[in-house]
Amino acid sequence: MDRILIEKLKANAVIGIWEWEKQITQIVEIDIEFSIDARMITKDNISETTNYKDVAKDIKLLCESRPFELVETMAEEIAKFAIAKYKMNKIMVKVCKPGALSDAKNVGIQIERLLSDYDL
């Protein structure tokens, strides 16, 4: 199977468990990888594949539309949303919160989900 990658997508999200975090936006970085079959693209036409620009725009909108407390919750919501909207069979989502720990460059979570993981 072939994969489309979106790396380091930035979103300004309200994310965190502390009261002060719930009052501000913070940058989260999102990596997304999803499966396609590129052999099915015969006409060099965007309509024959999943448009990564649309996926990125929709995921960014999702992350910025409501508060999240945990990166784990955000990653799960992204996976469920993308699988449902774009009829993906498999997705990998990585959500990082740079600067969450002063001694680390990044903290985050990476999850993989299948269409069969959800009752859609």
Counting every residue written for the chain, the total comes to 120
Side chain identity at residue 70, one-letter code: L
DSSP type of residue 40? G
Catalytic-residue membership of 97: yes
Q: Work out the widest C-alpha separation in the chain, in whole angstroms.
A: 52
Candidates 32, 27, 29; CA nearest to 5 is 32
- Look up residue 93 and give its two tokens: 């989502």
- Look up residue 6 and give its two tokens: 């979106």
- Which is catalytic among the residues 80, 87, 90, 97? 97
- Give catalytic residue positions: 97
